[in-house]
Amino acid sequence: MKTIIEPFRIKSVEPIRMTTPEYRDQCIRDAWYNLFALHSDDVLIDLLTDSGTSTMSARQWASLMQGDESYAGSPSFYRFKAAVENLMPFKYLIPAHQGRAAESILFTVVAKPHHSVPNNTHFDTTRANVEAQGAEAVDLVVPEGHHPELEHPFKGNMDIAALERFIEERGVENIPLCMLTVTNNSGGGQPVSMENIRQTREVCDRHGIPLFIDACRFAENAWFIRQREPGYEDTPVVDIVREMFSYADGCTMSAKKDGLANIGGWLAMNNEEWAVQCRNRLILTEGFSTYGGLAGRDLEAIATGLEEVVQEDYLNYRIASTAYVERHISAVGVPTMKPAGGHAVYIDARRFLPHIQPLQYPGQSLAVELYRHGGIRGCEIGTAMFGLRPDGKEEPAHMDLVRLAIPRRMYTQSQMDYVVEVVQDVWERRESLRGMKFIRQPKALRHFTGRFAYVDDA
């Protein structure tokens, strides 16, 4: 069969409150054209993020009732531990309330001010946690990863030659660990090949540097390996996942992504000395080592989620549904990042709106219009987000994108057809969209709370 259907039925529904363009126009004005300031029940299709927004299965809801809320030694922790170790068999497992808490603990323990941490691309919380220790976060993705229009099967790969050079220049003693983010979220959800993980490992081994995987979308990455990397066509996903982690010395994870849960995360590693220090830090900041800031029921939901996220029917549908949206909007000429990522479709707003210069935030203008016209909430990833430098000067970001992140198991194909239609409508009258300006902005992370207006508004 050609049609890939959702491999689930819907047992419980959440009504969407239907709204009109006039109503949404008022909502977005009241929010000062900042999509983060909207009330989410004024949104029809919410594609702001895939983080913590997954639909839980009936089995997950049932496992919540099994949650044991004992302070120490809860059976829910041991179920969670068994589920994680089935996929990522590291010696020490440290639960945390979400991914950035795991990152904060790890880098507090291992990073010093003179250190540098290489990664294919640091996610923003990872970078912030490295920098919070006074260390330097360095991105070494392959050159293909910087070109949105270029087709390449593994645009998330580490640039191995650049990594070698980097280690030579900085010196092994200044590099506490090397990271690999799978899939490469900040680089468009692009995967990393098994060969590249292996090569990264070889370089690290040669210099005695530990390799950690930022594992948030490990299952989506494994599916891309199965689909695109010669030799893995017939390998079960679980075996691909185990092989990926066999090359690593540890990982950080947000269960809000491929944990199919609404909250949670963890840190895992083989180094005992680091693990002891991380655990002590955990007890100080998150909670005891068998719950790490989570309820016992959360650990249960994650354990069940990890069993479901590696199912091949699920991954086949998941990756196909993201690619479906990208294929249909690019078929009418909308410029997108190629190929589609695992969790999101990225519209190239700079090419969509060439009449709006980067410092007038074409991504923000497009994101606002998608909301006003169709009630779709995406996220500007461009100059509004990254253009303000610490010295207060502004410059265009590397790219101006609008990300449509697809929550897991949440929306149906007809809802995605609606998204396609809204993007096409806005594409057809793109010349009418106007540039924007900030009228109020904080010094850091301005995209979350800043206020916008149109440049030609009084």
Ligand X SMILES: *Cc1c(COP(=O)(O)O)cnc(C)c1O
Site residues for ligand X per CB under 6 A: 51, 98-100, 123, 125-126, 181, 185, 214, 216, 254, 256-257, 265
Residue 123 or residue 154: which is nearer to ligand X going by CB? 123
Q: How far apart are CA 347 and CA 427, in angstroms?
A: 11
Q: Where are the alpha helices (DSSP H) in 310-348?
A: 312-331
Around Cβ 6, how many Cβ atoms within 10 Å? 15
What tokens were used for 329? 């909007």
Residue 99 or residue 382: which is nearer to ligand X going by CB? 99
Q: Where are the alpha helices (DSSP H) in 31-88?
A: 58-64, 75-87
Residue 265 or residue 382: which is nearer to ligand X going by CB? 265
Helix, coil or strand: residue 67: coil
What tokens were used for 155? 């645009």
Residue identified by tokens 């839980």 is 56
Q: How far apart are CA 40 and CA 79, in angstroms?
A: 34
CB of 101 to ligand X, least distance (A): 7
Contact 401, 447 (CB under 8 A): no
Which residue number has the CB closest to ligand X? 99
Residue 74 or residue 181: which is nearer to ligand X going by CB? 181
Strands 136-139 and 116-119 turn out to be: parallel
CB of 458 to ligand X, least distance (A): 39
Helix, coil or strand: residue 348: strand
- Give the CA angle between residues 80, 81, 86 to the nearest 5°: 100
What tokens were used for 243? 């092989």
CB of 142 to ligand X, least distance (A): 17
CB of 201 to ligand X, least distance (A): 19
CB of 55 to ligand X, least distance (A): 18
CB of 33 to ligand X, least distance (A): 25
Q: Of 246, 237, 230, 167, which Cα lies nearest the Cα of 193?
A: 230
**345 strand-pairing partners:** 404
Residue 79 or residue 257: which is nearer to ligand X going by CB? 257
Residue 125 or residue 360: which is nearer to ligand X going by CB? 125
Residue 96 or residue 329: which is nearer to ligand X going by CB? 96
Give the count of alpha carbons within 13 A of 24, CB side only. Answer: 23
CB of 429 to ligand X, least distance (A): 34
Residue 182 or residue 349: which is nearer to ligand X going by CB? 182
Residue 192 or residue 423: which is nearer to ligand X going by CB? 192
CB of 355 to ligand X, least distance (A): 33
Residue 100 or residue 155: which is nearer to ligand X going by CB? 100
Around Cβ 363, how many Cβ atoms within 10 Å? 32
Residue identified by tokens 């068994």 is 82
What tokens were used for 128? 């912030």
Residue 103 or residue 369: which is nearer to ligand X going by CB? 103
Sorted by sequence, the CB contacts under 8 Å of residue 326 that are 6+ apart come out as 336, 338, 339, 340, 345
Q: How far apart are CA 306 and CA 176, in angstroms?
A: 29
Around Cβ 153, how many Cβ atoms within 10 Å? 16
Q: How far apart are CA 40 and CA 294, in angstroms?
A: 25
Contact 264, 302 (CB under 8 A): yes
**109, 110, 137, 138 from 177: Cα distances, Å:** 12, 8, 11, 12
Q: How far apart are CA 48 and CA 387, in angstroms?
A: 20
CB of 265 to ligand X, least distance (A): 5
Residue 266 or residue 317: which is nearer to ligand X going by CB? 266
CB of 100 to ligand X, least distance (A): 3
CB of 120 to ligand X, least distance (A): 10
CB of 434 to ligand X, least distance (A): 32
